[in-house]
Chain A
Amino acid sequence: MKNTVYIKAYCAITNTKMVCNDEVLCEENELDYKSFLKSIYKNYCEVSYPKFFKMDEASKLAFLTAEVLLKNTSMTENEKEDLAIILSNKSASLNTDRDYQNSIQDKNNFYPSPAIFVYTLPNIGIGEICIRHKSYGENAFYITEKFDANLLSTYAQTLLNTNKTNNVLCGWVEVEKGKCSSFFYLLSNTEGELYSEKNINEIYQSI
């Protein structure tokens, strides 16, 4: 027996653009992505969250995408508590792994950085979102060649259909070689636009 699944909200960030629920929230052509993420933090986050600046770029991207998405949807504290977060990308944490490798590459300048090492895992961004929103729900991080709606949604549906949660934040979060891209969508078994793989892929393509 399968329950109906809905898309409740979505948010996407690229190097120059942030889109949320069909609306372009901001667009910048001249900033590099690091500055762009910082400007999103300054302009769209209602809370002061100094920890943001300690995060690696991938975690910043995940944090902001979740922040803006959750701000633009309605969710009770209880729903947030059980929110499942299922993210994916191709490079895992290689962008930060390379930074860490640089800190240990040279025998004569060997100073491994704990603050970088802690971010050399792709799921740390999920942890940052959980801390921010007090979410104790299901987590998983998948590595796929490209955005794979089928994998994410099949997995999300197993959580929704077995009542492990009513809301799953799914998506893609990639930072590598000077480029960032994220696409998060909130699947729910209670309300929103009817979900289909075609539907979600169309939204993804349109960004």
Chain B
Amino acid sequence: MINVYATYNTIISSLGFSTSENVQNILEGKSGIELQKDTKLSDVPFYASIIQDEKLNQAFSAINTTSEKYTKLEKMMILSLHKTIQASGEKLDDKTGLIISSTKGNIEALDKESPFLEEKAYLTSLGETIQHFFSLKTTPIIVSNACVSGVLAIAVAKRFLQAKKYDKIFVVSGDVLTKFVLSGFNSFKAISEAPCKPFDKNRTGITLGEAACSMLIKTKENKEGVEIIGEASCNDANHISGPSRTGEGLYRSIKKATQEAGEKLKKLDYISAHGTATLFNDEMESIAFHRAALSNVPVNSYKGYYGHTLGSSGLLESILGIESMKRSVLFPSIGFETSGTSYALNVIRENTHKDISAFIKTASGFGGCNTAVIFKK
């Protein structure tokens, strides 16, 4: 089987417009979550991690002068991808693939008050816009699989590379904070009144966020790369919105990803978990990790820094895991104070120096979906 490597990447978020800026902020313990008072999104103030329009427009104007043509999401995704392509120095030829991952895309185009055409709400339109911007020769592959989309996109890239359909694939993910999603999670009584506290005893729900990320995945090793040695996506077969009480799909995903990694995997040194901070999700993860005998492995959730960035979260948190591995530093799980799951987890409390040879990224979402991907230095 061909080896596949995760290489150049860019995070665009409220904590910065490059991966290094984001990591620097994490090392300093900064969170991008703030109290928001935008009445277009909600009548009452709420906590979320939001990218400033002004800052985004300024950064975008450096690469394109027709800013008004693009939605916020498109600008974020294009900016991220542009930076990754530039850094890699790669040419976009007919063996270069693009995978786009988003949970809701430009969903706010459905709003009658949106300045954009309803047509923009189609993910195929988002695909065309990005393809056209970069004059890409191949049609983008679009993955939309709830909250595992971002990490599933990495698994999909690996598989298409191993099937020799492409030589290299750029993956770009993005979701923005919308009234649509905020009101939906509110109707689920799932939004936390304070910044979210993943795995904590006093957690009361999700904080939402927005981000766009991109990554180059290729079959040739380089000094930037870490190997993707195993992945799997298994369903809970239990409930469309409630996490499984036995963590079945997540447990199976971890088990199958580990099996695929085989002898390449000596030891998992770190888990970049989903950790949305809802009562049931975090509990479910603790059960799955316990069943997989991973309870003692250092674990964090990045939701305390970024909130839940939906279809972008899996890619965002994979990139941060890779950075953690490369720098040999475990990043703390912001918001965590007291253990609050049936099976205690080894939640990271402060920046800790540790050699990380391999880590696993996991995510779970509506529809009972779960994904696990293992990265190795």
List B contacts of A135 (CB < 8 A): 235, 237
Residues of A within 8 A of B187 (CB): 112-114, 117
Rounded to whole angstroms, the CA-CA distance of A1 and B366 in the bound complex is 36
Instruction: Determine the chain A residues whose CB is within 8 A of the CB of B233 once the complex forms.
Output: 138-140
Q: Give A154 to B165 CA distance when docked, in angstroms.
A: 8
Q: Out of B104, B144, B163, B239, which one reaches A141, CB within 8 Å? A: B144
Decide: B142 and A105 in contact? CB cutoff 8 A. Answer: no
Q: Is the CB of A144 within 8 A of B144?
A: no
A101 touches B110 (CB 8 A): yes
- What CA separation (Å) do A141 and B233 show in the bound complex? 12
Give A135 to B365 CA distance when docked, in angstroms.
16
B152 engages A137 (CB within 8 Å): no
Complex Cα distance, B235 from A135, in Å, reads 7
- Does B194 interact with chain A (Cβ within 8 Å)? no
Select one of A126, A136, A154, A164 contacting B367, CB under 8 A.
Answer: A126
* A145 to B240 alpha-carbon distance, docked (Å): 26
Collect the chain A residues with CB atoms within 8 Å of residue B104's CB: 120
Asked, given contacts A92-B123, A104-B179, whether A124 binds B235 with beta carbons under 8 Å apart, the answer is no
Complex contact A97–B107 (CB within 8 A): yes
Given contacts A140-B233, A164-B232, contact A121 B143 (CB under 8 A): no
Q: Quick check: B143 and A117 within 8 Å, CB to CB?
A: no
Chain B residues whose CB sits within 8 angstroms of the CB of A126 once the complex forms: 235, 367, 369
Contacting residues, chain B, for A139 (C-beta < 8 A)? 145, 233-235, 367, 369
Q: Beta-carbon contacts of A132-152 to B below 8 Å, as 1s and 0s?
A: 011111111111110000010
Report chain B residues within 8 Å CB of A158.
159-160, 162-163
Q: Is the CB of A143 within 8 A of B239?
A: no
Given the known interface contacts A90-B122, A136-B252, A144-B142, the answer about A118 and B366 at a Cβ–Cβ threshold of 8 Å is: yes
Across the interface, which residues of A come within 8 angstroms of B67, CB to CB?
none
B184 touches A130 (CB 8 A): no
Counting CB contacts under 8 A, is A94 at the interface? yes
Kindly report which residue of chain B lies nearest to residue A104, judged by CB atoms. B183
Interface residues on A, range: 35 or more
* Complex: A92 Cα to B109 Cα, angstroms: 14
Provide the bound-state CA to CA distance between A117 and B182, in Å. 11
- Find out whether the CB atom of A127 lies under 8 angstroms from the CB atom of B184: no
- CB of A122 closer than 8 Å to a CB of B: yes
Is B256 touching A141 in the complex (CB atoms < 8 A)?
no
In the complex, A130→B244 CA distance in Å?
Answer: 13
Q: For the complex, give the distance between the alpha carbons of A154 and B162 in Å.
A: 11
A131 — which chain B residues lie within 8 A by C-beta? 237-240, 368
Docked complex Cα distance between A144 and B238 (Å): 28
CB distance from A154 to the nearest CB of B (A): 6
The residue from B112, B144, B237, B367 contacting A134, defined by CB atoms under 8 A apart: B237
Tell which of B112, B180, B232 has the most Cβ of chain A within 10 Å. B180
Kindly identify, within residues 196 to 236 of chain B, every residue whose CB is under 8 Å from any CB belonging to chain A: 232-236
Chain B: CB-nearest residue to A91: B122
Give the Cβ gap from B198 to chain A, nearest Cβ, in Å: 22
* In contact, A92 and B105 (Cβ under 8 angstroms): yes
Tell me, in angstroms, the Cα distance from A128 to B141 when the chains sit together.
24
The CA-CA distance from A139 to B367 in the complex, in Å, is 10
Contacts of B122 in A (CB 8 A): 90-92, 94
Alpha-carbon distance A126/B162, docked complex (angstroms): 25
Is the pair A127, B145 in contact by a Cβ cutoff of 8 Å? Answer: no
A138 touches which one: B107, B124, B234, B248 (CB < 8 A)?
A: B234
- Nearest 7 Cβ contacts at the A-B interface: A127-B367, A117-B184, A143-B142, A158-B159, A130-B235, A112-B183, A112-B187
Known A-B contacts: A112-B186, A117-B184. Give 14 more (CB < 8 A).
A94-B110, A97-B110, A98-B110, A117-B187, A121-B103, A124-B367, A127-B367, A131-B368, A136-B235, A136-B252, A138-B233, A141-B145, A142-B144, A154-B160
